[in-house]
Amino acid sequence: MPVAGLGLSNLRCPRLHAPALALLLLVAGLAGCGSMLGRGDDPCALPAPGTVLRKAGLTTVFGAPEIGSGYTRKALASGRRELVVAAHPLAAQAGCRMLQGGGSAVDAAVAVQMVLNLVEPQSSGLGGGGFMLHYRAADGLLSAFDGRETAPAASTPDDLRWIGRDDRRAPQPNARASGRAIGTPGLLHMLDAAHRHAGRMPWPQLFEPALRLAEQGFPISPRLADSIAAAVPALERDARARALFLDADGRALRAGSLLRNPALAVTFRQLAEQGAAAFYRGPIAEDIVQTITGPRHGVTPGRTTLADLAGYRSRKREAICTAYRAYIVCGMPPPSSGGLAVAQALGILQHVDLPALGPTQIDADGGRPSVLAVHLVSEAQRLAYADRDRYVADADFVPLPGGSVATLLDPAYLQQRAGTIRLARSMGVAAAGEFGAPMPGVGVAPAEQGTTQVSIVDRDGDVVVLTSTIESAFGSYHMTAGGFLLNNQLTDFSREPTDSADRAVANRLQGGKRPRSSMAPTLVFARRADGTRGDFVMATGSPGGAAIIQYVIKTLVGVLDWGLDAQQASALIDFGAVNGPRTFVGGEHPAVDLSDGGRNDGLYRGLQALGHEVDLSAQGSGIATIVRRASAAGQAVYDGGADPRREGVAIGPLARFR
C-alpha cells in the first residue's frame, strides 16, 4: 500500500486488521513497516502494535478534556542509555532521532513538542503553555521551568462571566470558545529558555522532523480522527480550523487520511531561522493578536495586545521537593497546583503502610489494587484537593498560607490531616485546613482540561519531564494564519471572582496572572542518609485535567510502594478522587468488570461499602514513565512505560521491548 506524499511510494505493507493498519500508517513517514514491527536495523524502531483489550466508546469521565481511546496493552521498553516516552509514535521517534544524533534530553523534548503540535493538535502546541523539570546528572542541578500562559494586562475579574459591565451576557458563543479564554502563549518561550540552559544541538535542527511532516503530510491517527469528529460543530465556526480538519463537505477527516499543514510549516521555518523571539514580536505576534481580537460574528473578542506578547516571560522557579519513604519526590510549584497536591497527598500517605497493600493478580497491566489501598489514597487526595481549591493560585499574586509551600507541607500538619481519615468510611468531602489569619474564599472550581506528557532521559543521565497543553481539546478552536490553535487556558481561572461571603477567590482572573494548573511533571530521587537528593530514580507525568494529580500519585505509588515496573505502573487501573463524594475507577481497564453496571466488580462493591460513590467512566490519562534500575550486572538500565489509554510509545536508540 503506497503512502502518497511521504517519499515512500515503494512501501508495501502486509494485510492487517484495521487497528494495526492504522498504527502502521501512523509511523510510515519516519519508520516504514519493518521498523514498526520491531524488525530491521533502525535504532529508533518502534514496538509492534499492542493488543487491544478494550475498545474506545466507553463514557468518558465528566469534565475530561478529550475522548477516551480504549485500552491497548503495550510493551515495556528498556535501554541502557536513552529513552523517550511521548503521546504519539511520530513524536517519540523524532525525539529518539535527536538522542541518536547526540542531542540532549532538552533537544529531544523540543523536537518532540514541535511534532506533537502537528500530529496531536487537540492537546498541545505553540498556542499553549507548559511546565518542565530538568535534571542535570553531572552536578545534580534541578531546574523548574514555568511556561504557563498569562492573562492579558487589560483583563478584568468578570471577563469570564460577562461581556462587559453594561452587558451581563456570557461571552459568546461561550467563555471557552470566545477570545476571552485565550491566554498569552508561553510554551515556546519556556522551550527556548530550557534549550539555552541545556541544549546541545543547534536550534534550527530541532524543527526539522516537524517541518518535514508539516510539508509532506502524515496519516491522521484514530485518536485525532475521533477527536475531530467529536468537535465538528465547534471547528466549523473557525474558517482555518474548518479548512484543516474537515473535508469539502464539512465532514471530519478520517483515520488514515493524509494531513498537511503548510501554514504551520511556514511558522516552523520562521521560528527555526529567527528564533523564539519571532513568535513574540513581528508578523506571528500580529497574527495572534488579530485572531484573538479581530471581529468575528457571534464571538466575543479577547483583550490581548502586542504588548502582552512582547512582555511575556517564562519563569525559572524552585522545584518542590519532599521526602517520601526512601525517596525525594520533586514537582512544580505554583501556579501549578500539581506538585504541591502530589506532595501533600504523599505526605499524608507517609503515615499509612501502603507497601503492605499492594495489588493482586499482577500482570502486564498492573494487577488489581486492593479496596483499602484505593480508599486510603483517595482520602488523602480529597484532603490535598481541599487545600488546593482554597489556597493555591499564582503565588506571585496570591501568597500561600505562611508565604511559602512550607506551611502546607509541614509534617505535623500532614500528620494531623492523616488522622482525619477513617478506615471504615469515606469522608466524602474534605474541609480545607485552617491557618488562623483570614484567607481567600473558595471559588467555583473550573473544569480543568488536559494536555500531553513527554518524559526523556539522555546518554548523560540528564532527564526532562514536560507537561504541555492548550487546555480543552482543540483549545479555544481559534486557529491562527500560522497553522496552530490557540489555548482556552484562562478558563482555568475561577469564573466567579468572589465567594458567597464576598471574599476574593485566590484563583480569580487578574491581568498578568497565570491561571492555576494541575499539571504535575514529577522526578523522583533516592534519599540519602542525610536527607538530601541522591541518584535519579523515576520520571513521570500525565495529561488529564484536574485528574492529573490522581494519575501521577497512582503511578508513584505503583513504583515506589508496590514495586511495579514502569509499564505496569502506567497501565495500572486509574483510581482516585477530587474533593467530592465520587471516587473514580477507570472502566477502560480490562481488569474492571463492567457487567451489571460494575456491581460484579469486587473493587466497585468494596468501595461502595465504605461509602464511596464509585464512577466507572473511562479515564483520559496519558502517563509517560521512566524508571532507572540496576541490571543483573549492576549497570544502570532505563525502563519506559507508555499509557495504554492513548497512542503513545516508549522508545530509545536500540531499546528492547518486552
Q: Where is average pLDDT lowest: 1-5, 136-140, 481-485?
A: 1-5
Residues 6+ apart with CB under 8 A from 419: none
Other Cβ atoms less than 10 A from the Cβ of 606: the count is 16
pLDDT tens, position by position, 377-390: 999 999 999 999 99
Q: Is the pLDDT of residue 433 over 70?
A: yes
pLDDT band at 467 (very low <50, low <70, confident <90, very high): very high
Residue 479: what residue type? M
pLDDT tens, position by position, 277-333: 999 999 999 999 999 999 998 999 999 999 999 999 999 999 999 999 999 999 999
Confidence (pTM): 0.93
pLDDT tens, position by position, 171-182: 999 999 999 999
Q: Name the phi and psi angles at 14, rounded to 5.
A: -70, 160
Q: What share of the chain is helix, strand, coil (3-state, %, to 5)?
A: 30, 20, 50
CA distances from 80 to 530, 537, 628, 654 (A): 29, 14, 9, 9
* % of the chain exceeding 70 in pLDDT: 90
Q: Is the pLDDT of residue 69 over 90?
A: no
Q: What is the pLDDT of residue 54?
A: 85
pLDDT band at 39 (very low <50, low <70, confident <90, very high): very low
Q: What is the mean pLDDT of residues 421-449?
A: 79
C-alpha–C-alpha distance, residues 72 and 275, integer Å: 39
Q: Name the phi and psi angles at 600, rounded to 5.
A: -95, 0
Q: Where is average pLDDT lowest: 27-31, 548-552, 647-651?
A: 27-31
Q: What is the mean pLDDT of residues 109-121?
A: 98
Q: What is the pLDDT of residue 448?
A: 47
Q: Is the pLDDT of residue 19 over 50?
A: no
Active site residues: 451
pLDDT tens, position by position, 47-66: 998 889 888 754 444 445 56
CA distances from 31 to 11, 39, 50, 395 (A): 11, 11, 17, 45
pLDDT band at 531 (very low <50, low <70, confident <90, very high): very high
